A and B are shown apart, each in its own frame.
Chain A
Amino acid sequence: DSGVTQTPKHLITATGQRVTLRCSPRSGDLSVYWYQQSLDQGLQFLIQYYNGEERAKGNILERFSAQQFPDLHSELNLSSLELGDSALYFCASSVGSSGQYEQYFGPGTRLTVT
């Protein structure tokens, strides 16, 4: 167990809807990363927050947004959902902002859009 928690484990929703995925980092970690793992795109980096501020951005759609709160937990908001958004969403955390710090992954949230 890496200490990173994600809720919910599974989420089933309809196209056009909006969902929020939650991630709690390991105690003491200031960085949170979000990744999307889908069958056709593989494991892709979405966005990184460090101590409440956006630090790096990857292939994140405009329909998606994220934030990190003062208690350092993070939420990934997905709106106007499409079938292609069905994927496993991972969160990871690390102590520092640089990628050289080991990233510890959560168990993921499996999103199914019907």
Chain B
Amino acid sequence: AQRVTQPEKLLSVFKGAPVELKCNYSYSGSPELFWYVQYSRQRLQLLLRHISRESIKGFTADLNKGETSFHLKKPFAQEEDSAMYYCALLSGSRLTFGEGTQLTVNP
């Protein structure tokens, strides 16, 4: 069965510092992974997906099949990045989400 693990429930950094939100997965097939973000009082929305290999709002994520990881990174965090971040794995049409990491960027 597929599983997504986000080991950090809370992560706090200062503005301008690099940030990395960890995501590890367990899946027997070829994984397709996503990062979703939920800003305060807003709905969950897609941030990026690994197949598009794009950078959104300065965030990137690289799929590492050897380490079964899909960590989300940003070189210089901004206060507006404060939000709840969820890593998700696609199997068929269903998404399996990690427990989420609450990122706080302090001024």
Contacts and interface: CB of A to CB of B under 8 A. Distances in A.
Interface of A: 2, 4, 31, 33, 42-45, 48, 55-56, 58, 90, 92, 97-100, 102-108
Interface of B: 32, 43-46, 86, 90-100
A108 B95 CA distance: 17
A29 B95 CA distance: 18
Given A42-B99, A42-B100, A100-B32, A48 B94 contact: yes
A7 B82 CA distance: 28
B86 A43 contact: yes
B98 A42 contact: yes
Given A42-B99, A43-B100, A105 B93 contact: no
B32 A107 contact: no
B97 A56 contact: no
A92 B34 CA distance: 15
